[in-house]
Chains A and B, each alone.
Chain A
Amino acid sequence: MSAAIRLDDLTLGYDGHPAVHHVSGSFAAGSLTAVVGPNGSGKSTLMKGITGTLKPLGGHILRNGAIAYLPQGAEIDKSFPATVSELVSLGLWPRRGAFGGLGAADRRQVSAALDAVGLDGFAHRPLDTLSGGQFQRALFARLLLMDAPIVLLDEPFAAVDEKTVHDLVALIARWHGEGRTVIAVLHDLGLVRRHFPQTLLLAREAIAWGSTPVALRPETLQRARAMPEAWDESAPWHDDTAAHGHAEANL
Chain B
Amino acid sequence: MWQVLVEPFVLYGFMQRALAGATILAVSAAPIGVFLMFRRMSLAGDAMAHAILPGAAAGFLVSGLALLPMTIGGFVAGLVVALLAGLVSRLTAQREDTSLAAFYLISLALGVLLVSLRGSSVDLMHVLFGSVLALNNDALILIGGVASVSLVGLALIWRPLFAECLDPSFLGSVSRAGQPVHLAFLALVVLNLVGGFQALGTLMSVGLMMLPAAAARFWVRSLEAVTGLAIAIGIGACYLGLLVSYHLEVASGPAIILVAGAAYVVSLVLGRRGIVFSRTQPSRHRIA
Contact = CB atoms under 8 A, between A and B. Distances in A.
Given A81-B221, A81-B222, A98-B177, A75 B172 contact: no
The size class of the interface chain A forms with chain B is 20 to 34
Interface stretch (B44-52, B102-110, B111-119, B157-165): B157-165
Nearest to B165: A80
B230 to A, nearest CB: 13
Interface string A40-76: 0000000000010100000000000001010100111
Interface string B60-82: 00000000000000000000000
A126 interface: yes
A171 interface: no
Interface of A: 51, 53, 67, 69, 71, 74-77, 80-82, 86-87, 90, 93-94, 97-99, 126, 142, 146
B174 A76 contact: no
Interface of B: 38, 40, 159-160, 162-163, 165-175, 177, 181, 221-223, 226
A232 to B, nearest CB: 20
A164 B192 CA distance: 47
Contacts of B171: 90, 93
The 3 closest A-B pairs by CB, nearest first: A98-B160, A76-B167, A93-B174
A76 B169 CA distance: 8
For B165, B170, B222, the residue with the greatest tally of chain A CB atoms inside 10 Å of its CB is B170
B38 A90 contact: no
Nearest to B34: A81
A61 B53 CA distance: 48
A126 B174 CA distance: 23
A69 B166 contact: no
Given A76-B166, A81-B38, A81-B221, A69 B175 contact: no
